[in-house]
Structure 1
């Protein structure tokens, strides 16, 4: 057995589908996951660059009707039952009970849901009540994701959130009382003037609330946001890379001590509570997407829907897919994506599954990238899987970037110091 090559010396030399060619066998697979974008918010956070709108109720009514039309268009090709559905935003829980009833009626009219399908709805604290939670439960929603971000009142104001810490606690308890056991809380670190103690207290609050899943993200200052403008004006005091790295380490240590598994770069779960829908993304599997600005990946094409509400509605009314742009993914690009996305997971990328999907051995096709990363201690082979090492988690993006264009471009030297 060749340990340096992932222990796959017995892998057959000829791939049954590829016959020596790079392929992606999932390009012919019917997606079994659906992302639905609900773009409405009560206000826009200072860091947000998502497709969101502060809109009156009639605009939301019109959007629900248009969304049903896109469900119909997608449903014509959705011949396999859905295993996961994710309603993201925006703030999906701004929809009224009546609007949710319309959305779920259209969903079930156009798609089949597999028994035990994971159905997630994102929510902002303060936007749920007992009636809405009961309706969501009855409609089949079995997972909620709350955008807490932090439990520090000063920081909540600084990033433009409308809720306070007590509202987070009340919303979580209300969801638990309504029967939701699969809950996620989003946290952010690297916020303006945030301290290690701020992060510490937020993580401890999450643990005290008993939620089984946590997503912890670095703040990224996106162009066009108020934060970007304030940073250009010298008005944004950010912690800096060293302190952010300490914050990340603190999150890892505290959640590990509380029994969470760090299963993806930014995600932590108690055993069996991993986000099934997001695993579809990280394993580079196909998925449908509906709604303004939504991104999908189906039958070998990545696409992005138009961002304007009126244009979106006009296109679906005319029976047209509301794509702004679409891109045919080559077999080489798909192979690169499988590695870049899969390495985000602690499980890493299985050499055998990669070969079965793409028809080549990743340790050979990407030797010019993988071998230097192995030598630098940023990647390692473990039981036939290529994984990030512990020291690589903080520089994960540097590792991922090495695979961009790796099958078509010369490799450049890597510097992580």
Structure 2
């Protein structure tokens, strides 16, 4: 495959199948039992081929759902298609999400054989009581065994995914989870606060008044604890929810934050190609039928306007701790950043939420805790 470096793109591939549904999850997913998995994999391969004609991706990310819920035969079929249509030797990063309860030696060997360079393991917490509360299928010891098993198979670039502000979670429990994660020695930890999304079990419980969550002050204290503790152990805070040792920052996700393009492949996947943001059909059968007919499954498209591109440059780029380059903004949009956002920038600087250093605008420590307020300031319409 010929590499065209002129266009920076990633490829996201969605596996919507799960053995169980977590109480907080709002991603496009279905119970795996009785699903047309093989037909879905055929459709994925066809859609990969469709986008491969537009040029190879620099990164690949397989997420879900639960990619490791596939059995070994299905799992290998997936990677055979990736190798045929998207993989190339100059690929910068190849990430796969994995759940502790269905990550085994056979699947790790398949991933090694097909060039996977990075694993993102969904741990969420090392508190067994909380794991049950949020509807996870594994226990803390399963998570530790999965990480150790991956390390023994030569995966040194592993992300442990954690959550905070969970129902009934205390600062002590959060500290213990971080300590166990840090003892595993992975070079990257992602840690997200619980978001209540419509059509989830937790959202319905919140609406009925039966879900007890930590208050905003406790959530802010937890976030401060996270930044302090992970920084103390050499994981630098490079994005609002992500911490890494130098050189292990997530490349694929950074494409999103840098407002680059990416193919979205699979049921319910979202993509951004040639200035158009699109969403695929979500229902499995509708996705398969659409790909068979068209080679892709776009159910909606939106041509991003010039103003929207500028907005996205700001509120995505400011998620990164290094912030937004004023020179890059000028190069991309043909005007100084102050021409468009001068008033907002000055207002945020006076509030102590934004600062400028070495040609970059970035959130201050105070701004990180009030990120939504900062992002909203750059919405023109």
Which of 266, 275, 279 is the matching residue for 1:304? 279
User: In the alignment, is residue 222 of structure 1 matched against residue 197 of structure 2?
Assistant: yes
User: In the alignment, is residue 48 of structure 1 matched against residue 20 of structure 2?
Assistant: no
Q: Which residue of 2 aligns with 1:135?
A: 110
Q: Alpha-carbon deviation of 1:327?
A: 0.4
Which of 211, 226, 234 is the matching residue for 2:186? 211
Q: Which moved more, 1:110-119 or 1:134-143?
A: 110-119
Aligned partner of residue 321 in structure 2, secondary structure? coil
Q: Alpha-carbon deviation of 1:401?
A: 1.3
Aligned partner of residue 86 in structure 1, secondary structure? strand
In structure 2, distance between residues paired with 1:82 and 1:303:
17
1:172-217 C-alpha deviation (Å, 9 max, x unpaired): 0000000000000111111001100011001111100111101110
Which of 152, 155, 161 is the matching residue for 2:136? 161
Aligned partner of residue 347 in structure 2, secondary structure? helix
In structure 2, distance between residues paired with 1:104 and 1:320:
19
Question: Do 1:30 and 1:299's aligned partners in 2 also have CA atoms closer than 8 Å?
Answer: no
The number of aligned residues is 377
Q: Alpha-carbon deviation of 1:100?
A: 2.4
In structure 1, distance between residues paired with 2:322 and 2:88:
27
Q: Which moved more, 1:135-144 or 1:319-328?
A: 319-328
> For 1:70-219, what aligned pairs fall within 5 Å after superposition?
70-78=47-55, 81-219=56-194
Any unmatched runs of 5+ in structure 1? 1-28, 410-417
Question: Do 1:374 and 1:380's aligned partners in 2 also have CA atoms closer than 8 Å?
Answer: yes
Aligned partner of residue 228 in structure 2, secondary structure? helix
Q: Alpha-carbon deviation of 1:364?
A: 1.9
> Where do 4+ consecutive residues of structure 1 move more than 3 Å?
none
Aligned partner of residue 113 in structure 1, secondary structure? coil
Go from structure 1 to structure 2 and tell me whether the alpha carbon gap of 1:303 and 1:31 turns closer, same or farther (over 3 Å shift).
farther
User: In the alignment, is residue 255 of structure 1 matched against residue 230 of structure 2?
Assistant: yes
Output the TM-score relative to the length of structure 2: 0.96
Q: Alpha-carbon deviation of 1:112?
A: 4.7
Any unmatched runs of 5+ in structure 2? 1-5
> For 1:325-340, what aligned pairs fall within 5 Å after superposition?
325-340=300-315
In structure 2, distance between residues paired with 1:206 and 1:116:
28
Output the TM-score relative to the length of structure 1: 0.88
Q: Alpha-carbon deviation of 1:114?
A: 4.3
Aligned partner of residue 239 in structure 1, secondary structure? coil
Q: Which residue of 2 aligns with 1:383?
A: 358
Q: Alpha-carbon deviation of 1:104?
A: 2.1
Q: Alpha-carbon deviation of 1:30?
A: 3.8
Aligned partner of residue 287 in structure 1, secondary structure? strand
Structure label with greater radius of gyration: 1
Q: Alpha-carbon deviation of 1:106?
A: 1.8
Q: Alpha-carbon deviation of 1:363?
A: 1.8
